[in-house]
Amino acid sequence: MAFQRKLATKTAVLTLTTCWPFDHIGTTTQAFIVSADLVASKLAAK
């Protein structure tokens, strides 16, 4: 089941959420979450 969660932040943040373990088929109560902050961007300077 896919879901979206919006969090208010002052900077750009990318969050990836996926099932854990990766090779599991079906429902699970565990998740693997990766969060990344934007360090620099040429677009942000404009």
Pairing type for strands 31-37 and 13-19 reads: antiparallel
* Interacting residues of 23 by C-beta distance below 8 A, sequence separation 6+: none
3-29 mean pLDDT: 84
Q: What is the pLDDT of residue 34?
A: 93
15-37 mean pLDDT: 89
> What percent of the chain shows pLDDT beyond 90?
22
- How many whole angstroms separate alpha carbon 35 and alpha carbon 17? 9
Helix/strand/coil for 14:
strand
Domain ranges of the chain: 12-39
Query: What backbone torsions phi and psi does residue 38 show, to the nearest 5 degrees?
Result: -75, 120
pTM of the model: 0.58
Q: Is the confidence at residue 15, as pLDDT, over 60?
A: yes
